[in-house]
Every structure is written in C-alpha cells, then in structure tokens.
Amino acid sequence: MEATRRYDIALFGATGFTGGLTADYLAAHAPEEIRWAIVGRNRSKLEAVAARLAATAPQAPEPDLLVADAGDAEALRKIAEDTRVVISTVGPYALHGGPLVAACAAAGTDYCDLTGEPEFVDRVFADHQVEAERTGARLVHCCGFDSIPHDLGAYFTVQQLPEGVPLTVNGYVKSNARFSGGTYHSAVNGFARARQTLNAAKERRRLEPRVEGREIHAAPARIHHDESLGGWTVPLPTIDGAVIRRSAAALERYGPDFTYGHHMVAKHLATVGAIAGGVGSAFVLAQLPPTRKALLKLKAPGEGPSEAERERSWFKVTFLGEGGGKRVRTEVSGGDPGYGETSKMLAESGLCLAFDELPARAGQLTTAVAMGDALLKRLQRAGIRFQVLESG
C-alpha cells in the first residue's frame, strides 16, 4: 500500500479550530518525506491554512489541497483510496462522520478521529467492523483527550502491575480547561440523540463477541471525598471507561479479571452539584428542536479559547492500580487538553499509524490495542508525561 498510494496522511477539517492546530503540528513535526493533504469544503480557506503553514513551518513539505464535502461519497472514496491514513476532525461525528469511515473501511485505509460520541463509535462497529477486518483497515476513534490519556494511562498502569492476576484500576481526572465549540455541539447533539445512542449500543452488544475465559467489569459508582486526591471523586460517565474496558477485553495483559472505574475530582461538593445541574438542564433542553437550536447558538462550532488561555490550561489524570499484592499510583499530565494536547495526540496517532511498526490487527480498535507502546513512546517524546508516583 505504501508504494501505490499517493498520500501518507490526509487531514479532514483542517480549516476548523482543532483541525488547524493539528495541521500546524503535522507541519512542524512530521518527517521530511511525508506526502500529505489537507481536506475541506472551501478551497480559499484551505489556501489560507496552507499559507499559514508555509509561513510558520517553511521547512515542512507542502500539503496538497483537496476539496470534498463530508457527504460526497465519491470524493471521499477517491481520497480514501489515495491515502494510507485519514485523520478526521469533522464533527459532530454522528451527524457528519459516517461516509468518511465507510470509505476508509472499504478502501483498507487506516482512520483516526477525535470523537467522544458513543453512538458514533457503536454505529461504526455495527456497520463497518466486518468490512474493515476484511480489508485490513484500522479504525481508531477517541484519539484526543477523549480518550488517549485515560486509555494509555490505564495501559501504562497495568504494565506496572503483576501479570496473570485480577487487577483493579481507577482513574481520576482533573483539569482547568474550557471545552471547544465543536465539543459543545457534539455534546448537545448527543443529548438530543439519546434514543439513537441506546439503539446503537444495543446493536453493538448483539454483534460483538463476548470475551472468553476472562472477566471485564466497571467499578461500582459512588461519590466520596479523598484527601489524597484533593477533593470529591465523582463517577464520570464519558466514553473513556468503555474505551478502557474494550482495551482490557482485547489484551490479555490486563489479567483474567479486570475492573476499571472512571471519575472526575472536584474540590467542592457544590461544584459537583452545579455541573450535574447544568448537564441535566442541557439534556432536557436538547430534546426539543427550538430549545436545542437556542443551545447550539451559544457557542459556534469553530470557536475556541485564545492562545493565552490555552497556555494556562492543564490536565492531570491519576490512576490507582492494585493486584497480586502490589499497589501503584501513576499520573498522566500535560497542558491544554482540549486543543494543544488534543491536536498533538491526534497528529501523533496519525503519524504512528502511518510510519510505525504496529501489531497486525484490523477493524475498530482502541489506541492501546492499535498502537500501544509505539504511541506511548511518541507522546512521551512529545511532552505528555506518564509517571509512576508510588509503587509498593
């Protein structure tokens, strides 16, 4: 495939906020021999991105500019067939992402994205798993803050624990960052599509083979105060926990019986109540078209924080793992999770798929299963910290 395809990487959504940051990162860090393209609906906007890249990274190979709409199946087919790895930042994925994944699955093209939408991930599995396994395509979702620090953080934690024994890992997330307009729109549309999300999950459960001879569990949900973590720990019902459990189901290194719990940490209990109230209100308002439209107007899809705001942002995920008589405390940390680090994680995922020697696997895969140690090393070199804080 390497010799016959025109591009190593095609980046969809390069004219958006996070897509633009991903293009900047690729231009600054991709190998000199990369053959790449940036893809969008508007050629003049693509030309503006290319001009910015030429000014800020003049040493970088110039990308080709490809015009394609997210719903143009023929254009997407041609790009997928011409490309080894497709990177997509075009969300909400449940609304716009299906045709591109279908094109990649059919063409045997590796694919990675930023989605944190359970409906989209489950629908891709139901619709394209068999085809992707047949063609050899690796479909890797959740390659940003959802869910790389959590998935690879749990993977890193498991590596510090004994093999062949039951393991329990709990992850605790802290951050001071703002979320993007794109993330906000994905969340609101996700609330509005609760029925479709449940149906997609049901279809996946029907089709997905059960793990034989091993047990994978979600930790019991509870709110409690933990002095060592600096606040109240609250179950965090994002896609991250499901991603980690899928990694555990696919990799025997997680042991014969693996349990994972995913939490946020809030300094004050009142903060927990305010977040829960806000999310609950948004869920209710998203059910009706007029109020959903009003919610979506509050934040534009391409909107994001200033560079100064991003510079002040940070994240930290603490993992407490135990098994076989050993306990460990690990930490994954970095800067602005929603933009700077997310674009770094996504770009490094694409580069890893394109250029690194990886396990011979295909179909829908998590980052730990598809790339594992290779991506972990890339991210450590790129400045995202994976540390063992305590072990005993």
Residue-wise pLDDT tens digits, 315-325: 999 999 999 99
Q: What distance in Å separates the CA atoms of residue 384 and residue 376, rounded to the nearest whole number?
A: 9
At residue 173, the 3 state secondary structure works out as: strand
pTM of the model: 0.93
Q: What is the mean pLDDT of residues 150-162?
A: 98
Q: With contact defined as beta carbons under 8 Å apart, do 108 and 82 qualify? A: no
Which is more confidently placed, 22 or 276? Answer: 22
Work out whether strand 110-113 and strand 138-140 pair parallel, antiparallel, or are unpaired: parallel
Which pLDDT belongs to residue 183? 66
For residue 309, pLDDT beyond 60: yes
Q: Confidence band (pLDDT; 50, 70, 90) for 298?
A: confident
Contacts (Cβ under 8 Å, ≥6 apart) of 207: 125, 126, 129
* pLDDT score of 2 more than 90: no
Beta-carbon contacts of 137 under 8 Å, excluding residues fewer than 6 positions away, are: 104, 105, 107, 108, 109, 110, 111, 131, 362, 363
| Confidence bin at 75 (pLDDT 50/70/90) | very high
Which is it for strands 36-40 and 7-12: parallel, antiparallel or unpaired? Answer: parallel
How high is the mean pLDDT of the chain? 92
Whether omega before 247 lies within 30 degrees of 0, making that bond cis, reads: no
Residue 253 is classified by DSSP as G
CA atoms of 347 and 355, how far apart (whole Å): 12
Cα 154 from Cα 4, distance rounded (Å): 37
What is the percent of the chain where pLDDT is above 90? 75
Flag whether pLDDT at 1 surpasses 60.
Answer: no
pLDDT per residue as tens digits for the range 227-267: 889 899 999 989 999 999 999 999 999 999 999 999 999 88
- Could you tell me the two tokens for 301? 């899809």
pLDDT of residue 36: 98
Q: What is the pLDDT of residues 335-368, one digit of tens each?
A: 988 788 999 999 999 999 999 999 999 999 999 9
Q: What per-residue confidence (pLDDT) applies to 378?
A: 98
Dihedral of CA atoms 264, 194, 219, 253 in degrees, nearest 10, equals: -100
